[in-house]
Chains A and B, each alone.
Chain A
């Protein structure tokens, strides 16, 4: 089945699940309130957005310089950098490293890049035990399900569902206390931190000036995953670059505000290399895998290059009426929501993923919410245009050719308008049947009645009377 047909089926199913939609709506409503409060603590949120966009613009438009600067600083402290052009290269590097170092068990903190390249599957296939340590990701891993939202992986699940999952998978007792559920996960996870020979993380920012990776989290799990295992691997998209350390003074609070409505997330750590002589902890080896995986393809598109500014805060998902109604899984992508609909066609092929750009009312709530000012909803329009330029859909080609012929000729248009009330009489005869030409509309909504006299005709008559 095509990805577009699958999307229609999934959207049918998820929009019919009103209790789930209501729960997601409520959760995101609370996010809106928290975010509004935090945003108002900024002296000027609009100026903060301008400044954040300028920082990301500088980084993304000088990737060549800043990524090399990062590499130089980072390797000077004994870190290793691997440049991965695609997912396969990144996977192979990490697999080879695990094999050569005799790693058996791996603990991970949240990294969408690893979802993007299906790293867990590859590691598990080679016999490694891989455990997700972010609570939401841990739950999704137990469920054998992809993250629902790239910031809140299990936001769609109710407490009872998580409790039932833990009972089944971890043998714990039934509970609906969030604290107890967290403690169950924590007990299960602690063991893994101690056993793991490798910790894999993502990275929220790459700081060129100091050669560091910045990781933002709320649970402290990334700190454990980077401090306890012998080897730390950070798998980071190349677009995460920022020029200076001071840039984080703005970007960290903005990421927290836009992402969760917090002023700052609970833990913000900087990682600059492996354990140095005299250090009492830290990994013996620290590898940063810089992932391209078609990001440079997006970079080459001058119109949509700003999509690489994305700091993966998830704000565009949180305000998106499409996301709220179809949920994260219906997208079928690693990156859900508006930003996912923009970038997935660049990463995985326009013809296969153009339907996501079509599945938008272009309301622009995403663009308004974006802290780094990505022109998200206009990029959806551009994707639609680019898809048509590549390949027209046969029935659309006829539809718009006919439309053009009609609208170019006012006389023809006027005849059509005058025929509309008559046409509607016939429409009533087939209304709701398979012959109904606007069945997708009339199935759930009433169709307006064409007026007996158009405005055009009223105006003409009035002019005649006045003369």
Chain B
């Protein structure tokens, strides 16, 4: 299958290894990977801030870039939700509504794509360590991705998956929320990170790098011991 990657802007610049891992896994599974170079941001930051006109202008461009793609795979549940759900809101009653619908229909979040679309659970990965999985809220509640990442992790050789308390509770990132209400965002991170630390794991894994930016940011400042954050793709690429 020809898979077109949607690599969110912050993964492109801060976490390129996540995107490289996705390329590696998909190619290992025998798929052709494409990355349209003109992609930038999906427009979620202004959209979430209420600036829909600005978001729409960015989104129109982004949609056009993926027009010819057969399937689109997003490296982030949150940005994937932007394509799959929020573009429909953004373009409701606009000329691009049909295009938004078409993009939504062919877009998947990475873990969901592997499990639901490709029917793959074991990607042939080996990773020694005890990990816990954090559900990114957008992937979990907007896209309904709950089991796919866990199924993938359970199939990794050498990996022990431990569930944390309240795994489904938010890490407190929330985009601009994290800097507009830093005290609330930090309190949420504290609760989340305590749940992670209590499991005794060495790694916290998620299918959303934005959550991991928050979690790692808090852990490396406050955790009494080293807990490393990894995107699901980084674990699945390990051999």
Contact = CB atoms under 8 A, between A and B. Distances in A.
Interface of A: 8, 11-12, 15-16, 21, 25, 321-322, 324-326, 358-365, 367-368, 378, 381, 384-389, 392, 396, 400-401, 403-404, 406-408, 410, 413, 417, 420, 438, 440-441, 443-451, 453-456, 458-460
Interface centre among B12, B51, B140, B220 (most CB of A within 10 A): B51
Contact of A407 (B43, B140, B186): B43
Contacts of A21: 187
Contact of A15 (B41, B50, B175, B186): B186
Interface of B: 7, 9, 11-17, 19-20, 23, 35, 37-41, 43, 45-52, 54, 57-58, 61, 89, 137-138, 140-142, 168-170, 172-175, 177-189, 191, 213-214, 216-218, 220-221
Given A456-B12, A459-B35, A444 B49 contact: no
Nearest to B22: A455
A440 B175 CA distance: 13
A408 B58 contact: yes
Contacts of B50: 381, 384-389
B56 to A, nearest CB: 9
B177 A358 contact: yes
B20 A410 contact: no
A416 to B, nearest CB: 8
A441 B177 contact: no
B182 A441 contact: yes
Contacts of B43: 407
Given A386-B50, A417-B9, 16 more contacts: A321-B170, A321-B191, A365-B168, A388-B50, A400-B46, A403-B46, A407-B58, A413-B40, A413-B41, A441-B182, A445-B217, A446-B216, A448-B216, A451-B16, A455-B16, A459-B35
A417 to B, nearest CB: 5
B54 A403 contact: yes
Contacts of A403: 41, 45-46, 54, 58
A359 B221 CA distance: 24
Contacts of A12: 183
A400 B51 contact: yes
A455 B33 CA distance: 14
B217 A443 contact: no
Given A15-B184, A361-B185, A363-B174, A368 B16 contact: no
B32 to A, nearest CB: 12
14 contacts: A15-B183, A15-B187, A16-B183, A321-B169, A324-B191, A358-B181, A362-B177, A407-B58, A408-B58, A410-B39, A453-B16, A455-B7, A456-B7, A459-B23
